[in-house]
Structure 1
């Protein structure tokens, strides 16, 4: 085994970058972003309670938790081997649940005021098919763009963009579901219409907003992968809004015009959803292939065996590694060590990829020796 104090033979060392904002600046940005999100969520909840009543909002929130938790569990599954920082994910959810919803509500209020002054009336179909898709996707996608600008250290590619976008969309859908469920409860109680609304929004389409906003997240993630700067990120944001708004408009328009909502979902939206799942699985597989290639360089330098690289970088290998750890004495400690080892090795692969692609000065990654030291320590736990 290579001495932990030395860089792997034949590899240019990855060191701490000097161009990134300091830890204190990132912590302040995270705290301010989360505080903004909390204030926005509180303001939106106050508005909902005043409009729909406290009891109705509570019942609606409980119902909205079901699809919300389902989406969060899916995001966790996608992100489990190179998890994004928890403060960034909290910010993303709060941005969607509070800021993006507040923007959409305020814009809608502004449109109504302008129309009232002009003596016009709102067009419900135009609001659903034009206004809502553009305004809502712009507001949600801007949260992803902010994370790209501020949190480049943890924004490596399309998977990260999808994870952040899905987290924002989950928060937005949670609050929007409270609005829809609460409105039905206030007007008709907990009857057949509430059940129908819950089935359509909570069971058939919990991933609708995730699908829309992930288009923007994917586009920004591609720019992050290529090492683009702030301007390129904004361009990707604008470009990603096109398919995001289109899919959103297709969903809203279909619901408005379809005679049979369930049939429309099965014939139109479900195939689109399956296509989105295929895209996510493809980019995750591509990311694993990159990790395997980069860790293969460390295997050539003596840090891993080829068998370890296969265990760390393939789904079957990871499952096998966890089963092995679970079968050892002190299984909880061994399993935790195995999870840490796989995650740190994955981070190491990403760090090496940034260097290979000339992106080593973007964001501060943990020093190569720090990651290798962690891997060595966890390996010692596994072999003890």
Structure 2
């Protein structure tokens, strides 16, 4: 009898090692353990080839716990608004609130546009992004208002300056990052099917932070209108500071927590998620503290420290996207070897350049929407396979995989008609 596994020279046959394709781990994210690896399912002719008509993807099934999460989140948000809205109106007045609300839409749009660009490769469900935004805009603000008095009681009272400095550099970083990042912990525990990597962590963190900064900007902008003797000038000044120079400040703080929790999500375990939450709070609080500590030398610190941090963060996100693209390409290549795609289709579906060219070609034939659906379906399939190979909820994701595989031929046909 022969074996594919060499012996150890003693005449005993070793235990067979799980087979892993040599290129199965193309990047440092999403690495597959040999025990979890399994070949992509083949493309037998008896599988339905047109289970869904036109360019529609199979109906998405909500992961267990997502609906209760959305209901609980909605209740929390409504309850939080009962505390947050009176607080804002009490500090800004109606006129300040309205003007602050409108002015805050500008930095909010900038951050959400960045979220859309980061999330374009594998978009998160809109309902979870809404949960993240409302958590940041309402729940985390309410939590901050409730916890803040505890720190106010411990703050130094020797002078108003000392009190203000303590609240800005100690209370704000600790309380605000905790309440914002608590939303990330809820998402990773209750919607883990959609929180499975560092890019997901950054997307959810940026969205939560965008909501928090939106409400906070209403307060700051509106308060200038309500309390200043020269509201126009003061509003422009604070808008430049918060809306132009630092629209991504909160996003970068909380983004570090989301990044660390995203890496923990690759190796799913509840303990890892909770540990990553507390570990991720440390750099977020530190960055927040450094920002709030800038004083008379603000411009020097801003250009010497904060701008480089922003640029490094932007480059990091670009590298994450590139790594995610390589991972997508590898997973689709595995399906190609199983007969589901051609190698040319993989290059088209799994690269930014290929997908752009494909969309332009399809648009010239009146099939732009169908091509986008084909790309979206293939990307979702690749990430579903990655979830399977991670060993998390394998049975659930294998059913998703079968659904996507049944849909792929119909999506392709819709493009070529």
- TM-score by length of structure 2 reads 0.82
Residue of structure 2 in register with 1:15 after alignment: none
* C-alpha separation in 2, matches of 1:366 and 1:89: 24
1:217 aligns with 2:254: no
| Structure 1, unpaired ranges of 5+ | 8-20
* C-alpha separation in 1, matches of 2:358 and 2:254: 34
* C-alpha separation in 2, matches of 1:376 and 1:34: 38
1:312 aligns with 2:349: yes
Q: How does 1:131-210 map to 2 (within 5 A)?
A: 131-188=171-228, 189-210=230-251
Q: 1:352 to 1:131 in 2, by over 3 A?
A: same
Deviates further, 304-313 or 101-110:
101-110
Contact 1:149 1:230 in 2 (8 A): yes
Out of 72, 85, 103, the residue aligned to residue 112 of structure 2 is: 72
Residue of structure 2 in register with 1:335 after alignment: 368
Q: How does 1:9-28 map to 2 (within 5 A)?
A: 25-28=65-68
Contact 1:156 1:350 in 2 (8 A): no
* C-alpha separation in 1, matches of 2:219 and 2:180: 17
1:326 aligns with 2:363: yes
Contact 2:224 2:235 in 1 (8 A): yes
Out of 264, 271, 291, the residue aligned to residue 251 of structure 1 is: 291
* C-alpha separation in 1, matches of 2:327 and 2:342: 17
Spell out, residue by residue over 1:237-259, the C-alpha distance to the aligned partner (whole angstroms, 9 max, x if none).
Answer: 000011101111111111xx233
Residue of structure 2 in register with 1:297 after alignment: 334
Structure 1 residue 6: Cα displacement: 4.2
| Structure 2, unpaired ranges of 5+ | 1-41, 49-60
Structure holding more helix per residue:
1
Q: 1:35 to 1:205 in 2, by over 3 A?
A: same
Contact 2:151 2:171 in 1 (8 A): no
* C-alpha separation in 2, matches of 1:321 and 1:39: 47
Residue of structure 2 in register with 1:279 after alignment: 316
Q: 1:5 to 1:32 in 2, by over 3 A?
A: farther
Q: How does 1:80-119 map to 2 (within 5 A)?
A: 80-112=120-152
1:355 aligns with 2:393: no
Residue of structure 1 in register with 2:33 after alignment: none
Q: 1:160 to 1:363 in 2, by over 3 A?
A: farther
Contact 1:152 1:362 in 2 (8 A): no
Paired residues, what number?
363
Contact 1:153 1:363 in 2 (8 A): no
Contact 1:341 1:378 in 2 (8 A): yes
Contact 1:223 1:236 in 2 (8 A): yes
Q: Secondary structure at the match of 1:80?
A: coil
Bigger Rg over Cα:
2
Deviates further, 32-41 or 72-81:
32-41
Q: 1:54 to 1:69 in 2, by over 3 A?
A: same
Deviates further, 21-30 or 296-305:
21-30
